[in-house]
Structures are given as C-alpha cells and as structure tokens.
Amino acid sequence: MAERLNVRQRQFEQACRLFSRQHNMFRLAPKLGLTPVTLRNKLNPEQPHVLKCAELVALTELSDDPLILNSVLNGLKVVTTPPSSGAPPPPLTSLILAHALDTGELSRVLLSASNDTLRRAQRDDMLYTAHMGIRRLADLIHRLQ
C-alpha cells in the first residue's frame, strides 16, 4: 500500500513540474490570488507550499489543462476529458484530422523509441497527445449527438 502511495505521489509531483514548465505563472497566479513565485512553489515538490484542492480545480479551469487533475484521477484508474473551452466547435473534418494527427504523433514517438523504452520527455509528450486525442474524440461525439 505504501509503495502505491509513493508512486501516486511521484506521478502527481511530475505532473505539477510539467504543468509549471508548460504554463505562464505570471498569467495564472493573479487569477488565483497568488503571486507567480507562490504558485510556482506550490507546483514544486521541493518547496513546503502545497497546492490545495480548490486551487487545483481553479488552475485546471483557468488553464484549460487537466494535466495535474488527470494525474490525481489516474490513481483511481479514471481518465477524464473536460469539454473544450467556450469557443465555437471546429468543423467535423478538423476534429477528425486533428485526431488523426494525434494518432500519427503517438506512432512516431513510439517508433522512434528504442526497444519500447521511453525517456521521460517522450512519455510526457505521449500522455499529453493521448489526452488531447481523447478530448478531440469527446468533442466529436458531442458534435454528432
């Protein structure tokens, strides 16, 4: 049990680090009522600051990126996809072509890996692309219904 908790914690910390690298803390922090340094510290497991649940939800909504939330829910074997932001939905052909591009990108990364061994950056890219593919498929289903 303790080992599973450690694995889940490492996944959460890795997602926080990746999120911090991919997003502009100067844009997001004021909307959360935090300074950019405080937000960056909350996303850094080496710092004593801790990301609160309400902050996680707000951060997910503001950034339109469920990366950290997905790392938490992954421990429960749940994959989520939020609906796309309030922008008008793209045409069906765009959704399908974008999904095909995601699938092609996943194939490219996997084929470039030697002996099915992925570096952390490759793994992170594949996870991000897979989640985007799921999101595009959810948008497609929503459009068709």
Question: Tens of pLDDT along the chain (145 residues)?
Answer: 677 778 888 889 999 999 999 999 999 999 999 999 999 999 999 999 999 999 999 999 899 888 899 888 888 888 877 766 667 778 889 888 988 998 998 888 888 876 677 888 888 888 888 888 888 888 888 888 7
If asked whether residues 103 and 41 sit together in one domain, one would say no
If asked whether residues 57 and 102 sit together in one domain, one would say no
Show the domain range for 30: 2-74
If asked whether residues 66 and 97 sit together in one domain, one would say no
Task: Say how many domains are in the chain.
Answer: 2
If asked whether residues 63 and 97 sit together in one domain, one would say no
If asked whether residues 9 and 57 sit together in one domain, one would say yes
Residue 117 in tokens: 């061994």
Is 44 within 8 Å of 17 (Cβ atoms)?
Answer: yes
If asked whether residues 104 and 66 sit together in one domain, one would say no
Q: Going along 11-137, which residue ranges are E strands?
A: none
Count the neighbouring beta carbons within 10 Å of the beta carbon of residue 126: 17
